[in-house]
Structure 1
Amino acid sequence: MVRGKVELKKIENATNRQASFTKRRNGLLKKAYELSVLCEAEVAVIIFSPKGKLYEFSSSSDMRKTIQRYRSCAKEVQCQRELEGDIENLKHEVAIMAKNLEHLEVSQRKLLGQGMGLSSYEELEEMGTQLERSLEKIRARKAQLFKEMMEQLRAREKILLQENARLRQQAMHLAASTQQRSGVIKSTDKSQNNSEVETELFIGLKFGAIGS
């Protein structure tokens, strides 16, 4: 006689629920024991009853060793899953980047006038608009650079004019100083010549007076 399929839901009757728990608990612990003996597997089972009572089975002598082993394996599995997830994400990103790169290469060839035989009128119109926008940006950048160069040249010109004025002022002062020194030297020479003439005249007159 085939048993009917039992619907898995909470047993409402408390007595029947406790009896089912006891029966199935013992059966689960028995199966765990048989699995450890027949297959030489390390098995650990932990069960808490609805009232919080602990039931456990461990094929090893220390349940804590089995739990520690489980934690280590679970951590490795988690790391492996995370690594596999990262690899999948990287593969997805690489595929997207390759697709974008291919699209950029096609667009670049079209902008250079290559491979345009299969381009539609709308695509050509869009490329023309892109080129016009690019030309506007180039012209704007060129005008900006030209303006900056003119400002630099004006600043340089101002510095050179100031330097020229300073050198001219220094030259004027130097010429005035030279001319002044030349005048002093000429006056000194003239004074010395007059003194010599007066001395000669004085000596000559004095000797003449003595002779008379």
Structure 2
Amino acid sequence: MVRGKTQMKRIENATSRQVTFSKRRSGLFKKAFELSVLCDAEVALIVFSSRGKLYEFSSSSVNKTMQRYLKNVKNRAVEQKPTEENIQNLKDETAELRTKVELLEDSKRKLLGDDLTTCSTDELQEIEEQLQQSLISIRARKKLLFKEKVDQLKEQEKILAKQNKELRGKCEMVTLSLSIIPDLGALAQVKEVETALFIGPPETRAAN
């Protein structure tokens, strides 16, 4: 069965809209995570549902990324010629970001298990889904670090095995060299025999 092309318009059915939102949100977070890992990019993603629920993802820290963004916006504003319109836009943007930061702080407290008494069952379910998504990201990062560590240990094992083989070869050469050296005691006996020999007439030898 050929799947039809999805029309880019608001889904009227509330259930279908919620299901599509949940699936697309998970896919969006997955793509954001892959972008941060594959490209070493700093990614922060903020999503508000139609009911005003907050969902977020960050490769490091949402607050840190937003502060970096505000600093970047400020630097761009300094580079550009300030106008009354630009100043007003910056004020509006700052106020909007401040509101978002407050919402993020509230969401952070809830994710840490604080201020849950006012949460409904649906809100608790959404918080649980966020935590599960965070666990997936954490486990993926942990698995990657473990793999890198195992690869490093395997490489060190190969280096040590090679060094051990070289040392064994050197030890065998030293042992072989020692085995072909004559016994020092035998050399001393030969020397004593040689010093006892005397060349000359028999009388002289007897006198000595």
CA RMSD after TM alignment: 3.1
Q: Which has the larger radius of gyration?
A: 1
What is the match of residue 127 of structure 1?
127
Partners in 2 of 1:147 and 1:83 — Cα distance? 53
What is the match of residue 141 of structure 1?
141
What is the match of residue 175 of structure 1?
175
Which piece of structure 1 moves more, 160-169 or 92-101?
160-169
**Over residues 48-103 of structure 1, what are the superposed CA-to-partner deviations in whole Å (9 max), with x where a residue is unaligned?**
xxxxxxxxxxxxxxxxxxxxxxxxxxxxxxxxx96211110111110110111011
SS at match of 2:114: coil
Partners in 1 of 2:186 and 2:161 — Cα distance? 39
Partners in 1 of 2:129 and 2:154 — Cα distance? 38
Partners in 1 of 2:119 and 2:84 — Cα distance? 41
What is the match of residue 111 of structure 1?
111
Moved over 6 A (4+): none
How far residue 144 of structure 1 moved from its aligned partner, in angstroms, is 1.4
Structure whose residues are more often helix by fraction? 1
Partners in 1 of 2:82 and 2:136 — Cα distance? 49
Which piece of structure 1 moves more, 103-112 or 115-124?
115-124
Asked if residue 192 in structure 1 is aligned to residue 179 in structure 2, the reply is: no
| Identity of matched residues, % | 34
What is the match of residue 85 of structure 2?
85
**Over residues 142-170 of structure 1, what are the superposed CA-to-partner deviations in whole Å (9 max), with x where a residue is unaligned?**
11111111111111122112112212221
**TM-score, normalised with respect to structure 1:** 0.51
How far residue 192 of structure 1 moved from its aligned partner, in angstroms, is 3.3
**TM-score, normalised with respect to structure 2:** 0.52
Give unpaired runs (5+ residues) of structure 1: 1-80
Partners in 1 of 2:186 and 2:177 — Cα distance? 16
What is the match of residue 95 of structure 2?
95
Partners in 1 of 2:179 and 2:100 — Cα distance? 82
Q: Which has the higher contact order (CA 8 A, sep 6+)?
A: 2
Give unpaired runs (5+ residues) of structure 2: 1-80
